[in-house]
Structure 1
Amino acid sequence: MRRIRGTSLACLVAVVAAAGAVAPPASADASGAGLSEQRRLADRRFVATGDRAYEVGAEDGRYPATGWHIRGEMGGFWSPPIKLLDGLWFAVDGQWLSAERFTSGAGFVEMELAGPGGLRVRRTDVVPDGGRAALVGLSFPGPARRVALSVDAHSELLSAYPWGWTTPSQETANLADTGGFDGRNLVFRESADGERPHEYAAVVGSELAPDGHALGAGHRGPQEPAVVCPPADPAPPRCDDGPFGRGTGGRLTYTLDVPRGGRTVWFAVAGSDDGVAAATAESRSALRDPGRALARKLAGRADLAARTRVDLPGDRLLQRSVEWSKQNLADSVQEARGLDVFASREGTRFPPPAGTVDVARWVGAGWPDYPWIFATDAEYTAFASVAAGQFEPIKAHLRALRDISEIVNGGSGKVVHEVTPDGQVYFGANDDPGNTDESAKFPSTVALIWRWTGDDAFRDEMYDAAVRAMRYVTALDADADGWPEGLGNVERPGMGGEKLDVAVYTVRGLRDLADLAASRGDRAVAGWASAQAGRRERAFERTWWYGGDAAAYADSLSDPGDVAVFQRHWTGLTPMEAELPGGPLAAPGNARLALAQRERDCYTGEFGLFHTGSGPTSAPAGNTGPSCDSVVSAVPAEWATFSLNTAVAAVAEGNYGRLGPQRRYTTGNARIQLDPAVWEMPGAMPEVAPSPDFVANIERDFLGRSSVLQAWGAYGVLWPVVRQQLGVDPDVGRGRLSVVPALPPGQERIAGHDIRLGTGSLDVTATRTAHALTVSVRAALRAELTLGAVLPAGATVAGVRLDGRPAAYRQRTTARGGEVLLAAGTGGRHTLEVRLR
């Protein structure tokens, strides 16, 4: 059951700050409400994050063995690059507490725990940013009483890499932990000398001094004795430790006097990969003033929530998804220090490091199995990040990608694919065959960030790496046809060596590089990149359009002869999704055919776009769904709906002004985040939606689920609203801003407030009546402002007024439709009225 509580976040911050460590908050999020769940809490995961630590558990307050990279060990408490604990459990008067209600908030989670004699204890978990510790607060209500409080902790000190199947694996890498007591805290260690010496430590304790303690192999609270997951499936529906577990446990006991007005007790789980002294210092810092730490976290999230506030009266679900997606992005920021960078060749080697990155900060891909540095994920997530005004994390992510790629690839220009927070590059070194698309997208991401921030220093810092990336990509062309070889987002049997998404993002990357080069006065690179892009653009439609009743672009080309291969993959939408400086790549006629085809039931289900559509196939499994074309594909349908696929579909529709069909896809991603019938963790957008070929996460065991929180799906919410519906198109680096809204069908008003652009901000409101379109803006930045509106189909212009006076205007036809445009000076407040006939 879902419950929304209406506590104002601003008031909440003030109350918590004033009260110090008295009481964690009632549920509140950026819109003044938390999201609560009571059903099947034992089957649902939660995530609580800070930028240097995080926690993954179940919403009933237990910690089942979770995840598959290190089988069963991806949950619990982590401080990258190491895991600290399997879990933390609480008992009152000998009874283990279990949650009966779970609530997601903005920057924290909360549980209502059931205790003996009808006692209800509120548990608040928050991970302060900047420190390597998680805080857990237990609030005991009045009346006055004395309770016996016990805390169990079970350690599992291990590194983020190696994994369960790599060379070496955690079977040999994970060593036995030892447990101790320092007079106040449980202290866990894992030490090694020799080739790879380390000193991992975790400290568990409270602001209170315990009455007693115990140490031993178990101490998993209600999960004792532990069920250990087998090394391979089949696995029991639920287990408590992975096959590589080498942890140990301990218990702290307290006598707690609760006054009539209630009392809150705080606990910290802190850690370090630099020994016990560092972990102890982290614990002391976290417990110095937990209430204030919570208040700072809430205040920071309130600041983020205040940016890009949208008002969508005709689509409140999407409005709420924008608010929660901003929080999801903030939840995904991570940092690690002292990364010893090495290429593991897909986990088959463990060589000495090629170099060190002192600090890496990034937007993690997904929890619990993908909280790491990825190129593809970030390059999609960047669009959501800039639209949300969260510039700093995505800039840092690009720096981390550049620094790691430069070290492991020796300045070749190739961008790495996947990096763990200890510096392991699993895939994307020079000797690996891909992913080519990640290098092609790198200059576009740099250009995107520069246009929204106007940060010339960032552009200049990234410029050489962007040039090298496109030189690298264009050189991957053995047959000199203009289409680079190498891996894209999809790899399936029968695909040709040249992939559609690689081709699309190569064209976009060249255009964006040319734009960056021109802004710096680098005529040579600008000319080269423009010529390279122009050659490919002129050949794109005749080369890639598959045509016929497929009504689609080919997924890949097979050599020799650039033979078109069609397999119905989601990447078929990338020609419509990729926006070049002059508009989307795909020709409008073909784009409309392809988009309409993808909207049919052979490609799109209840929650969005399938990974691979259905139709005739030579695959042994045969065709398991409807057919929208007669082409015989070599692969079967994969009816799994990823939030990224749906995001790409939403953006593709918006690029061509198809805001009616777009709503199907924005609603799909919003529902898996906010619909109580669908969500796993309230407010968190997952990696994969319930779909015919993917059973919902809560129906799967904890070892084989998709991510409960995945960052890239926010692309399909924030970008369609801010860039496409509100029409915000900044080029702040050149001192220009265009605002040309397009109202979705049936909606009369949309608005956005405090949209961050450069060092300023923008408010925009667009309204529609039967006879007029009105666009009002407040541009708090110095930029040459172009105002406009997308005309309804079939409408003609009767007149245009700017700030109440007749104004000269121009009209143009774009992929979005007919537009009215005029110059509106440099920033400030302005109102455009377009009268229609």
Structure 2
Amino acid sequence: MLAGTATAAGSPPPQPSPHELSETARLADRRSLVVGDRAYAMGDESGLYPATGWHIRGEMGGFWTQPIKVLDGLWFGLDGKWLGKDTAAAKYTSGHGYSRIDYPGAVQVRRTDFVPDGLRATLVGLTLSSPTAKTVSLDVDAHSELMSSYPWGWTTPSAADANLPDTGAYGNGTLRFREQSSKHDYAAYVGSSLRPTNHALGPNHRGPQDPAVICPADGTTPARCDDSLVGKGTGGRLTYDVDLKPGKTKTIWFAVAGSDAGPQAAQRDYDRALSNPDKLLQAKENDRQQIDQMSAVDLPGDRLLQQSVEWSKQNLADSVQEARDLQIRDVNEGKDYPAPVGTVGTARWFGAGFPDYPWLFATDGEYTSYAAVAAGQFDTVKAHLKALRDISDLLNARSGKVAHEIIPTGDVYFGSNQSAGNTDETVKFPSIVALLWRWTGDDRFRDDFYDFSVRNLQYVYRELDQDKDGWPEGLANVERSGMGAEKLDSTVYLARGLRDLADLAASRHDRKVEQWATARAKDVEARFEAQWWVPQALGYADSVDDPANPANDNTPIFQRHWTGVTPMEAELVRPGRPTSPLASPEHAATALTQRETACYTGEFGLFHTGTGPTSDPAGNPGASCDSVVSQVKSERSIFSLNTSIMAVAEGNYGRLGPNQQRVYTTGNARIQLDPKVWETPGAMPEIAPSPDSAANIGRPFYDRSMTLQAWGTYGILWPVIHQQLGVDPDLGHGRVSVVPQIPAGQPKVAGSNIRLGRGAIDVSARLAGKEIRTDLTVHDVKAAFTIGAVIPAGATLNDVTLNGRATPYRVVTTSRGTEVHVAARGSATLRITLA
């Protein structure tokens, strides 16, 4: 419907979509979120806007368009009663690319929010219906907060130093807000295609949240605030008379548009958003339907995981952000604010998490890339890598070091040449280049990123191995005290990165780099187990070489962090050998079994830091599963990334059972899909409810972890597409392997439209009695195919046929178990009969 139009009484009521999830309880305690690539909005699920987030305390919610905030909120009142306060919300619904809130009453209201991709604007539609003819007075309050995403609350300068007072005006039916200085011109437009009958301007206009409760900078803080001390916004109200007819609905669309390039740019996107909101909503739904149709899976033995695949693909799409004209500067963890070293014209990326981390990270993006290629979302992976490379080269003078955390302004909080890390994301970068090259076969892409990939690993050996022992130094994933100079995860990802760089080099006939990377990879692999395995811990050391103890020369330091799983998680591609993780099969089995215990695993997945003997004054709050005395306390917070790492590690060793991988895929799926657990329906959060991390809905809005964090999708999409369905492309070399493994006790796993290069494949694997059947359908993928299956442990082969005929086959032992491989030219049906 166009703004202000009506629907005939005879039209059937809209039916619930199968791609929607709804919540009715504690809506005011839950965050809502709608995202487009140029804007996003967050409030609560009743339609109000509590002060949210902590980077700029209380200011991370509301309406944003990177790199600025636009509004604190947008409130609606009907005949003097504010929706969400005087008229309670009855239901909140998350859809693919949109949200809805239903309000019952004499006049029923359905609110629909979405953000059109490509526009710096958010659209909100109110659909009104009444059983009797009436004219209602509709008030719309808007409170501006034009503010840059950096500086933050504690940095120098701070957000309070940088934020300037907004001004408000009314013109041609719209509220217009502006914040100007000699260096910037921020603007916002708010309004509808309907003509208001009245308007007002003033410092408040927060609907039912006036007078505002202000979050103090420190000290005792109310459980719920409406604004922050940093806020310097202003407000306005638009009032409309809306005629309603019995038995008909009327939809009115409102737009919030913003720009960091002045009011004309804001008005352009405002006008485009309101030109045809229904068409834009249909385009959004169509785009999301296409995403849903890629990597569509059928898992009759695990419908929860199947549903999580569906929503994880949407979570990835909801994480895409874009900014223009980023001014690149090293702010040195908030201590400095120098002149920029250069400008990046456009950056596009997977935002790490909402509301406090919607910007560009290397660590997050590298893990998320595995989920994204499995979902067929190649373009954003490439864009993310390009943004990291372009910004890192400017920031670090082409040293090869990858920047860690980049705000959409271009300010780099951490990751310059002067920073102590993060080593892991520098050594991971070549692996993500190799990953995308293998899934796309795009040699141009490979060539574009090859030089930077070479410089990544050369930098590590030049700058981050001062003792020349081959173990990389510097900070890594675990940002905790007490660790040694050389970290396990950096070592593991270095080993993988060296092999991947060697593969890239070989494909380009760069013999020098290939030999350099291969020699170093072989050195790391040969010495790894002897250096890092701690027998009494039943696992790998978290780090070695304690800098506080000069006598500690590569003595293992064991602290039970989640990174102890990485030797089983990262797969190494080695010529002439099956792809497998760095950990030996024997040590992997021991370590994974240990991590499945109550010392490391809770209801929703893997703890950040396991329990056990410790010298820390806090003591040990949980079980003890080894005899090593750690110097740090446990941290029984379950991050969706940690659980993902464990899910992937289990799958790498064929451990798909109900007490193995399924524990971790189910953990991540439940925090996303279980109404008893979720905060925002369908959104994978950063941290699960855990013994040491209470559920977000019980915490103040300004003191929560992220309600949507992209990295958790790694533990859903990669285990299903790559491990259970066995899709393992190497299109850079013209090969594709499809070797499914059906989880024990399940009859079938299947996936369709799994994107490879410019084509796709469908895969199905069934186990019925003594027969395993793998069906492969190829759509426009030119490659040499290997089709097969992982056979159950202890089973023996009786017969193998391809397309109904006896065929040559190979039996290959891998880290997953015993695999049967058959060469195929394309679409094929493989039947394996067991004795």
Shorter-chain TM-score above 0.5: yes
> Does the CA contact (< 8 Å) of 1:669 and 1:713 recur in 2?
yes
Q: Name the structure 1 match of 2:699.
A: 700
In structure 2, which of residues 363, 380, 386 is the aligned counterpart of residue 393 of structure 1? 380
Q: Is the counterpart of residue 160 in structure 1 residue 140 in structure 2?
A: no
Distance 2:402 2:218 in 1: 33
In the TM superposition, what are the counterparts of 1:635-714 in structure 2 within 5 Å? 635-660=632-657, 661-714=660-713
Larger deviation, residues 89-98 vs 127-136: 89-98
- CA shift at 1:234, angstroms? 3.1
In the TM superposition, what are the counterparts of 1:77-88 in structure 2 within 5 Å? 77-88=63-74
Instruction: Give 1:511's aligned amino acid.
Output: R
- CA shift at 1:482, angstroms? 0.5
Distance 1:26 1:372 in 2: 36
Distance 1:561 1:49 in 2: 49
Instruction: Give 1:625's aligned amino acid.
Output: G
- CA shift at 1:17, angstroms? 10
Q: Is the counterpart of residue 804 in structure 1 residue 804 in structure 2?
A: yes
In structure 2, which of residues 177, 183, 186 is the aligned counterpart of residue 200 of structure 1? 186
Q: Name the structure 1 match of 2:564.
A: 572
Q: Equivalent residue of 1:622, what SS?
A: coil
Distance of aligned partners of 1:564 and 1:697 in 2 relative to their CA distance in 1, 3 Å threshold: same
Q: Equivalent residue of 1:269, what SS?
A: strand
In structure 1, which of residues 154, 170, 177 is the aligned counterpart of residue 166 of structure 2? 177
Distance 2:616 2:6 in 1: 62
> Does the CA contact (< 8 Å) of 1:271 and 1:279 recur in 2?
yes
Q: Name the structure 2 match of 1:446.
A: 433
Distance 1:443 1:183 in 2: 53
> Does the CA contact (< 8 Å) of 2:438 and 2:729 recur in 1?
yes
Instruction: Give 1:563's aligned amino acid.
Output: T
Q: Name the structure 1 match of 2:81.
A: 95
Distance 1:530 1:153 in 2: 60
Q: Name the structure 2 match of 1:229.
A: 215
> Does the CA contact (< 8 Å) of 1:27 and 1:33 recur in 2?
no
Identity of aligned residues (%): 61
Distance 1:20 1:347 in 2: 50
Q: Name the structure 1 match of 2:748.
A: 749
Distance of aligned partners of 1:798 and 1:707 in 2 relative to their CA distance in 1, 3 Å threshold: same
Distance 2:508 2:7 in 1: 55
In the TM superposition, what are the counterparts of 1:721-732 in structure 2 within 5 Å? 721-732=720-731
Q: Is the counterpart of residue 463 in structure 1 residue 450 in structure 2?
A: yes
| TM-score normalised over the length of structure 2 | 0.96
Instruction: Give 2:274's aligned amino acid.
Output: L
> Does the CA contact (< 8 Å) of 1:64 and 1:241 recur in 2?
yes
In the TM superposition, what are the counterparts of 1:102-113 in structure 2 within 5 Å? 102-113=92-103
> Does the CA contact (< 8 Å) of 2:4 and 2:194 recur in 1?
no
Q: Name the structure 2 match of 1:831.
A: 829
Distance 1:26 1:584 in 2: 50
Deviations 1:48-97 (A, max 9, x none): 00000000110000000000000000000000000000000001111111
Instruction: Give 2:361's aligned amino acid.
Output: F
Q: Is the counterpart of residue 340 in structure 1 residue 323 in structure 2?
A: no
Deviations 1:625-671 (A, max 9, x none): 10000100000110000000000000000000000100000000000
Distance of aligned partners of 1:17 and 1:95 in 2 relative to their CA distance in 1, 3 Å threshold: closer
Q: Name the structure 2 match of 1:251.
A: 237
Distance 1:779 1:589 in 2: 37
Count of residue pairs the alignment pairs up: 812
Q: Equivalent residue of 2:702, what SS?
A: coil
> Does the CA contact (< 8 Å) of 1:640 and 1:689 recur in 2?
yes
> Does the CA contact (< 8 Å) of 1:22 and 1:291 recur in 2?
no
Q: Equivalent residue of 1:293, what SS?
A: helix
> Does the CA contact (< 8 Å) of 2:299 and 2:750 recur in 1?
yes
Q: Is the counterpart of residue 561 in structure 1 residue 553 in structure 2?
A: yes
Distance 1:493 1:77 in 2: 36
Q: Equivalent residue of 1:765, what SS?
A: strand
- CA shift at 1:100, angstroms? 1.8
Distance 1:835 1:18 in 2: 62
Deviations 1:200-236 (A, max 9, x none): 0011000111111000011000111100001024321
Unaligned residue ranges in structure 2 (runs of 5+) = 547-551, 574-578
Distance of aligned partners of 1:500 and 1:21 in 2 relative to their CA distance in 1, 3 Å threshold: farther
Q: Name the structure 2 match of 1:148.
A: 137
Instruction: Give 1:806's aligned amino acid.
Output: A
Instruction: Give 1:357's aligned amino acid.
Output: V
Deviations 1:154-180 (A, max 9, x none): 000000000000000011100111110
> Does the CA contact (< 8 Å) of 1:97 and 1:114 recur in 2?
no
Q: Equivalent residue of 1:413, what SS?
A: coil
> Does the CA contact (< 8 Å) of 2:3 and 2:277 recur in 1?
no
Distance of aligned partners of 1:430 and 1:47 in 2 relative to their CA distance in 1, 3 Å threshold: same
Instruction: Give 2:785's aligned amino acid.
Output: L
Deviations 1:9-36 (A, max 9, x none): xxxxxxx79999969995766xx23111
In the TM superposition, what are the counterparts of 1:38-57 in structure 2 within 5 Å? 38-57=24-43
Q: Is the counterpart of residue 374 in structure 1 residue 361 in structure 2?
A: yes
Distance 1:770 1:585 in 2: 35
Q: Name the structure 2 match of 1:271.
A: 258
Deviations 1:567-598 (A, max 9, x none): 00000000000011131110000000000000
> Does the CA contact (< 8 Å) of 2:685 and 2:706 recur in 1?
yes
Q: Is the counterpart of residue 522 in structure 1 residue 510 in structure 2?
A: yes
Unaligned residue ranges in structure 1 (runs of 5+) = 1-15
Distance 1:232 1:570 in 2: 32
Q: Name the structure 1 match of 2:793.
A: 793
Distance 2:407 2:203 in 1: 29
Distance 1:97 1:615 in 2: 50
> Does the CA contact (< 8 Å) of 1:415 and 1:438 recur in 2?
yes
Deviations 1:781-811 (A, max 9, x none): 1110001110101001111000000011111
RMSD: 1.5
Distance of aligned partners of 1:649 and 1:584 in 2 relative to their CA distance in 1, 3 Å threshold: same
Distance 1:183 1:523 in 2: 67
Q: Name the structure 1 match of 2:576.
A: none
Q: Equivalent residue of 2:697, what SS?
A: helix
Distance 1:372 1:802 in 2: 49
Deviations 1:669-709 (A, max 9, x none): 00000000000000001000000000000010011100000
Instruction: Give 2:236's aligned amino acid.
Output: G
In the TM superposition, what are the counterparts of 1:487-502 in structure 2 within 5 Å? 487-502=475-490
> Does the CA contact (< 8 Å) of 1:180 and 1:187 recur in 2?
yes
Distance 1:397 1:259 in 2: 50
Q: Name the structure 2 match of 1:9.
A: none
